[in-house]
Structure 1
Amino acid sequence: MKHPYFFGYGSLVNRRTHVFTPCHRARITGWRRAWCATANRPQAFLTAIPDPEAETLGLIAPVPNDDWTALDAREEGYHRHDASAQVVHEAGAVSRIAVYAIPAKDQLASSTEHPILMSYLDVVVQGFAAEYGEDGAQAFFDTTAGWETPVLNDRAAPLYPRAQTLTAAERALVDDGLARLGCRVLSERPSAGRA
């Protein structure tokens, strides 16, 4: 029996953050990954952006009970797009594969008011390292846009609800990637009106 699947390209690549099974490594063409801020969230999140030249690594997993409702709720603020013809995978027969993306009309310019949470970034990089090795983690940095968005170092008191504990090697992957790209890391969220 064929089931619908979804393509995860951020925190969903980290199998520790969800119970969707079975997951399969996959890649999508025609979409790239980028950091994005919206008015309804205090921090930046990853989104998929249409790009005919792009290829993005991730995972696919079946939609729970073939019902999109719970998954749509988890991905609140995102719109679901049919990407069945754009995903290469080894899952066998699937009825449909969707990718979630924040609509362009809802995206805000990069600012310190909506930083990337280090605890969220840690989860994503940990997932890519587990699935694709150190090279895959480095490729995440290289193929993701929006690194002008500041990163809030919340490791001591994680704000991301699905935060994970990283090994020293995993933390080094994150820290080295940020340093290599010259990313701005904040020790605290600036007060309103201060950039």
Structure 2
Amino acid sequence: MRDPFFFGYGSLVNRGTHDYRDSAPARLQGWRRHWRQIASFPRAILTAARQPDCRIDGLIARVPGADWARLDAREAAYDRVLLGAEISHAHASAAAIAIYEIPEAKHPAPEAPHPIALSYLDVVVQGYLQEFGTGGVADFFATTTGWEAGILDDRSDPLYPRASATTLDAKLLTDKHLSDF
């Protein structure tokens, strides 16, 4: 039996946030990325949901021995869902590929807005910049909804647990795209 893979579309695109090294870029058809606000978490988090006529780029990575425990713990608010033919990639051995999504029925919306932590967004943008270049970053912003959650500038004291040093160029790129909203 071949090892399964996951499809990352947010912080999992940034290879510095995990140690799943056997990975490759991929494209998912019929899905859209969204900043979701849930009552049980104080900041917006990225999720993906089925939406016809949309597509998102990301990264697939092998889960050795189908040992999902660590990844499931990291993505505790999400459900792991098996994908089918809607995903395209060039990885020769990727068979079963799963995505993590936050089902609306499982997590109610908060009473007050929960903003997007800039330290989280910086990690995501850094991953897209490394994998897909500046065009990939522009595409990330264009294929993501939920920006009305607002931004919490926590760069000087990051709230995101996997925050990492981000280049000035990446920060400026993030800030440029945010100014469009």
Relative to the length of structure 2, the TM-score reads: 0.94
CA RMSD of aligned residues (A): 1.4
Q: Find the counterpart in structure 2 of residue 108 from structure 1.
A: 109
Report SS of the residue matched to 1:158.
Answer: coil
Alignment of 1:60-71 (within 5 A): 60-71=60-71
Q: Distance in 1 between matches of 2:27 and 2:5?
A: 13
Any idea what the Cα deviations from partners look like across 1:121-144, whole Å, max 9, x if unmatched? Answer: 000001001100001001111110
Q: Find the counterpart in structure 2 of residue 29 from structure 1.
A: 29
Query: Is the contact between residue 5 and residue 63 of structure 1 (CA under 8 Å) also seen in structure 2?
Result: yes
Q: Find the counterpart in structure 1 of residue 174 from structure 2.
A: 174
Report SS of the residue matched to 1:180.
Answer: coil
Q: Distance in 1 between matches of 2:177 and 2:108?
A: 25
Q: Find the counterpart in structure 2 of residue 141 from structure 1.
A: 141
Amino acid at match of 1:66: A
Report SS of the residue matched to 1:3.
Answer: coil
Any idea what the Cα deviations from partners look like across 1:101-158, whole Å, max 9, x if unmatched? Answer: 001111426943x111000000000100110000100111111000101110000000
Q: Find the counterpart in structure 2 of residue 124 from structure 1.
A: 124
**Which structure would you say has the larger RCO, counting Cα contacts within 8 Å and 6 or more residues apart?**
2
Q: Distance in 2 between matches of 1:149 and 1:131?
A: 26
Q: Find the counterpart in structure 1 of residue 8 from structure 2.
A: 8
Q: Distance in 2 between matches of 1:117 and 1:139?
A: 20
Q: Distance in 2 between matches of 1:30 and 1:111?
A: 30
Query: Is the contact between residue 128 and residue 137 of structure 2 (CA under 8 Å) also seen in structure 1?
Result: yes
Size of the aligned set, in residue pairs, is: 180
Query: Is the contact between residue 110 and residue 148 of structure 1 (CA under 8 Å) also seen in structure 2?
Result: no
Q: Find the counterpart in structure 1 of residue 91 from structure 2.
A: 91
Relative to the length of structure 1, the TM-score reads: 0.88
Q: Name structure 1 gaps, 5 residues minimum.
A: 182-195
Q: Distance in 2 between matches of 1:14 and 1:71?
A: 14
* Cα shift at 1:93: 2.6
Which runs of at least 4 in structure 1 moved beyond 4 Å after TM superposition?
none
Amino acid at match of 2:67: D
Give percent identity, aligned residues only.
47
Query: Is the contact between residue 64 and residue 71 of structure 1 (CA under 8 Å) also seen in structure 2?
Result: no
